[in-house]
Structure 1
């Protein structure tokens, strides 16, 4: 059994699921999702139910088997003896050490609890095809999104994502992440226009007013602003349908670009992902993506 802790927004949850799913596939065992922390997490909700994932939630019995580092040695010993008698396998607690890819992750054993963000495709590249299928939208798109999807199919569509929201409103979050400025988007748009004839930009944002006022490509542009948080997975799906992607320093648009199956896609991403220089992001962006 692999248990993975889920927290954060949709993109973060997808990274966490993907890492756990890879290990569960390797050992042909079940993956269980620990969503307890959403009870006290006010910024986001559990959001993976819009996809065709294997949705199997950890029970209190499953979670009671976790050997946390804070357990006193005597308690750990007692638990192991008790579980050996009852033939119940304990679950080892694994905490992500830092933000860069940890090669040791791929050698982790079965029966573990994963606590981290695991934000690199290197954690799950072995099951790319499985994830592309499981991260497919299971419910019918709204009629508005169906119409928009048809427009995306019939043009040289480029998704452009502006992430603001709590990156701006929450001082703690802002100090960690910061936001991509107008210059970044202007340079990214110029790069696309140098390489693509007649691009049509589809602008997605959690701050539509700011995006409409500040992101103005000298090209055909459609501002997508009708989907709220309850249907954010549809925004991600629409991003993935575009032929090319300009992403923000956001795991949400990271996944929109990663799920894009166009073999000739151009993905432009910000070099600066965090305000903090202590965050090692060298493994975050796939090698073929352009960094600005």
Structure 2
């Protein structure tokens, strides 16, 4: 039997969905039953998870970030890791069981009439702890706006729906795009459900963004993703080749120049970039100073 006993304690909603989908996929592959702890979001999905504990389970830690073969054929195992690739999933099972319950989707549609409109482009912007995080690849306004202009020639005739953990940033940065809408009154699970009704996506490198696109993806969808997930030393030791599905379009904003007709967005964006850079440098200087102080003590 297999479990992921730390479900709900290791990462937020996006991470938890990976843990569930990959644990089930590995269980199916190795012909093992599985159980999970109680999960607070289960009530919103079609899935019915078997609950329980495996007291004598052997803890098995993820060796690599990318796909690899696990030895789980016999015995009881408690998996620990990120498991962030759809290559671990039983995809038909996951598509069916991690879809939202119709009643929940109807509530979202009642709150947001644009839900389900094929004219929507869902833009998922991650800020928060990613902005100064040394591990994660940084995405500025150039990525989101460049991905929009370059990949959606009809974008001026589409609804640009922004969801974010920093929606005030999005409003300041992108409000001059006249066909933009900012979702500021939905919880994370409601944002995810709203996203599942959309067809086309521009996502960040967060797991939440990843699941917004994956749950909403249709046969004719276009999903635009960053060229990288990680940066710095972490990127050198982490093989992320399996993180984004190969069918998704990877956009390198460093090779794209924003047209000058968007000068207002450019100016606001450059001000944010300068502010973020100064805050990042200040943080690094403080950390360096504290380390020196500790060494002297």
Shared fold by TM > 0.5? yes
Select between 115-124 and 177-186 the one with higher mean Cα deviation: 177-186
* Residues 1:272 and 2:228 aligned together: yes
Please name the residue that 1:257 is paired with.
213
Aligned-residue RMSD, C-alpha: 2.5
The offset of 1:288, in angstroms, is 1.0
Q: Structure 1 residues 96, 265: CA separation in 2 closer, same or farther (over 3 Å shift)?
A: same
Separation in 1 of the partners of 2:189 and 2:62? 26
* Residues 1:22 and 2:25 aligned together: yes
The offset of 1:34, in angstroms, is 4.8
Separation in 2 of the partners of 1:271 and 1:50? 32
Q: String of CA shifts for 1:109-143, please: whole Å, max 9, x gaps.
A: 1432211111111111xx22221222122373487
Q: What SS is found at the alignment partner of 1:259?
A: helix
Please name the residue that 1:158 is paired with.
121
Separation in 1 of the partners of 2:203 and 2:2? 31
Q: String of CA shifts for 1:243-272, please: whole Å, max 9, x gaps.
A: 101001111111111112421111001112
**Alignment match of 2:169 (pick from 210, 216, 220):** 210
Q: What SS is found at the alignment partner of 1:114?
A: strand
Please name the residue that 2:192 is paired with.
236
**Alignment match of 2:57 (pick from 66, 80, 95):** 66
Q: What SS is found at the alignment partner of 2:139?
A: coil
Please name the residue that 2:61 is paired with.
95
Q: Structure 1 residues 193, 217: CA separation in 2 closer, same or farther (over 3 Å shift)?
A: farther
In structure 1, runs of 5+ residues without a counterpart are 36-44, 68-92
* Residues 1:109 and 2:73 aligned together: yes
Q: Structure 1 residues 184, 197: CA separation in 2 closer, same or farther (over 3 Å shift)?
A: closer
**Alignment match of 1:167 (pick from 120, 130, 144):** 130
What is the total number of aligned residue pairs between the two structures?
244
Separation in 2 of the partners of 1:2 and 1:217? 51
Please name the residue that 1:247 is paired with.
203
Please name the residue that 1:2 is paired with.
2
Separation in 2 of the partners of 1:224 and 1:209? 10
Q: What SS is found at the alignment partner of 1:190?
A: helix
Separation in 2 of the partners of 1:101 and 1:160? 28
TM-score by length of 2: 0.73
Please name the residue that 1:220 is paired with.
179
Q: Which consecutive segments of 4 or more residues in structure 1 shift more than 6 A? A: none
Separation in 2 of the partners of 1:281 and 1:287? 12
The offset of 1:216, in angstroms, is 4.3
In structure 2, runs of 5+ residues without a counterpart are 252-297
TM-score by length of 1: 0.74
Separation in 2 of the partners of 1:181 and 1:136? 31
* Residues 1:119 and 2:75 aligned together: no
Q: String of CA shifts for 1:216-237, please: whole Å, max 9, x gaps.
A: 4745211111013xxx222112
Q: Structure 1 residues 154, 66: CA separation in 2 closer, same or farther (over 3 Å shift)?
A: closer
Q: Structure 1 residues 52, 222: CA separation in 2 closer, same or farther (over 3 Å shift)?
A: same
Are the counterparts in 2 of residues 137 and 233 from structure 1 also a CA contact under 8 Å? no
